[in-house]
Structure 1
Amino acid sequence: MDGADHQGGLSLVELMIALALSSFLILGITQVYLDSQRTNLFQQGQLQNQESRRLVSLFLQQELSKAGYRRSPATQDMDAAFGEASGGIVKGCSFAPGQAVQYVGRSAICIRYQPRDRSDRDCLGNRAPNVAELAEPYTGTHLVFVEKIYLGSSGDLRCASAQGDEALVDGLVDLVFQVAVASSTQPRALARHVSGAPGDGQTVVGVGYKTLLRSSGKQLRDAVGKATAVADWTLLTGAGAATVSGDAGQLYQVSQGTVMLRNLMP
């Protein structure tokens, strides 16, 4: 039979071209996926730092502003409301009579205050042990909350009270407290921050804080990012590069603030 049937196919050159084009296409799609994933992780790291900064700021604003609160300042002066041993024992806290804010160390501070009413709780969510005397508003009480706010060894913001000690916010690399003191001519106005216990005759009007936060995600930036964060932190606090240990490409964020004490009535 003349003209035998036959089937045409791809030549070797055509096959190689097709493989090359598909390889470029796969590489392009893979690169887009990796870039998208890297961007997503970067954004998650930034959001984590921002959320940690927000939680730290909210907590410190909430707790530090309570320092020195008295239910009846008209009938109880500071010495009467806050005796030397008022509020029980919290490790690291040792107040002088009438003292409501104690600078413990670079990354730790103690405060004490009276509960506002029956619903008031300490930093760990515990109520006062005896709330019967808190039934009537604006009456004096012997009940006092003591709190120690400090940086834990695992990089977390912790709070200790007479009822326990718990971590509240993680993701911190460093935390620095400073005491805000007033001038002799304006006893209610912030004059400067003191890195240490205030001197004799200096009135404490607030507490300043600085935080260096770090995301949990790793390999999210190059070495320049760490160098910038360390430079900012050194400029802000005087701390050196040794403070930022355990770096593995995480994202950093520096924040600061001052909480003014509201309870400064005589």
Structure 2
Amino acid sequence: MEGTRFQGGLSLVELMIALVLSSFLVLGITQVYLDNQRTYLFQQGQVQNQENRRFVSQFLQQELSRAGYRRNPLGQDMEAAFSGTSGGIVKGCSFAPGQAVQYVGRSALCIRYQPRDRSERDCLGNRAPNLAELAEPYASTHFVFVEKIYLGSSGDLRCASAQGDEALVDGLVDLVFQVAVASDARPRELVRYIGGSPDDGQPVVGVGYKALLRSSGKTLRDAVSKAAAVADWKLLTGAEPSAVSGDSGQLYQVIQGAVMLRNLMP
């Protein structure tokens, strides 16, 4: 029975070695998959913040630059173009005669401007009315767009007009507005930014803004603490990092900018 010494199959030792090697192989492949997935989610979080940053910056630059626009600046002064309002057009917006920018609060601002023509749209995409004077270039009009730009309670940038109130972009943790004021002696020269309403007669020449963005993806920062992630926000605004609630390891990004209001300069 010489053939019995050459039976096929694996010994127990060989089987254990194969199981160990295959386990290491499976663990390695799994780890590579998890690392790639984590890298992908991290990059998606960065892309989301960058897209929100571009949208917020472009939107604020576009809307704030409209403040105080008059169709006929030579034939219609600020008081004639922008009469006083009691806040009936947009809730929370109440302007003094000639005022085109109203500081409502730390995270809210109201502006108003005249439409360029009949195709002009407000922040929600609503057209100007079909008024006869809007068909003529440089003709005076008493129609005014009023907008309130503010941070919503759900962490979104919102805009309210006479036609409604809608969220434009989410992912905001905080938003801070400041108005740039000039002196009576030098109404074209920026003196300082203030976080409040300017004094009576103090010219407003610009608006500064700061925003803290946060991605929707969670557990993306590994061991980096929330305090380290939003330390720049404290330097910019004085707000403590502990004021940022709902942190679950998201990615943060700080943006800031300023818009000079040429329409308001004398």
Give the TM-score normalised by structure 1: 0.95
State the partner residue of 2:34.
34
State the partner residue of 1:3.
2
Larger mean CA deviation between 190-199 and 158-167 belongs to 190-199
CA deviation after TM superposition for structure 1 residue 188, in Å: 1.4
CA deviation after TM superposition for structure 1 residue 87, in Å: 9.4
CA deviation after TM superposition for structure 1 residue 185, in Å: 4.2
Per-residue Cα deviation, 1:173-202 (whole angstroms, up to 9, x for no partner): 000000011234432122211010011332
What are structure 1's unaligned runs of at least 5 residues? none
Secondary structure, counterpart of 2:147 in structure 1: strand
1:88–1:134 distance in 2 versus 1, CA, 3 Å = farther
Secondary structure, counterpart of 1:96 in structure 2: coil
State the partner residue of 1:261.
261
Larger mean CA deviation between 232-241 and 36-45 belongs to 232-241
Counterparts of 1:86 and 1:77, CA distance in 2 = 20
**Matched-pair contact (CA < 8 Å) for 2:100–2:112:** yes
Secondary structure, counterpart of 1:263 in structure 2: helix
Counterparts of 1:21 and 1:222, CA distance in 2 = 30
State the partner residue of 1:173.
173
What are structure 2's unaligned runs of at least 5 residues? none
State the partner residue of 2:240.
240
Per-residue Cα deviation, 1:48-93 (whole angstroms, up to 9, x for no partner): 0111011000000000000000000000000000001399610000
1:82–1:223 distance in 2 versus 1, CA, 3 Å = farther
Per-residue Cα deviation, 1:93-124 (whole angstroms, up to 9, x for no partner): 00000000000000000000000011101000
CA deviation after TM superposition for structure 1 residue 128, in Å: 1.9
CA deviation after TM superposition for structure 1 residue 7, in Å: 2.6
Secondary structure, counterpart of 1:191 in structure 2: strand
Q: What are the residue-to-residue correspondences of 1:155-174 with 2, within 5 Å?
A: 155-174=155-174
Give the TM-score normalised by structure 2: 0.95
**Matched-pair contact (CA < 8 Å) for 2:206–2:258:** yes
2:104 is aligned with 1:104: yes
Counterparts of 2:58 and 2:16, CA distance in 1 = 63
Aligned positions, number: 265
- Aligned amino acid, residue 149 of structure 1: I
Secondary structure, counterpart of 2:128 in structure 1: coil
CA deviation after TM superposition for structure 1 residue 3, in Å: 3.1
**Matched-pair contact (CA < 8 Å) for 1:215–1:252:** yes
> Equivalent pairs: percent with the same residue?
81
State the partner residue of 1:230.
230
Counterparts of 1:47 and 1:213, CA distance in 2 = 12
State the partner residue of 2:187.
187
**Matched-pair contact (CA < 8 Å) for 1:88–1:146:** no
- Aligned amino acid, residue 232 of structure 1: D
CA deviation after TM superposition for structure 1 residue 243, in Å: 2.6
- Aligned amino acid, residue 111 of structure 2: I
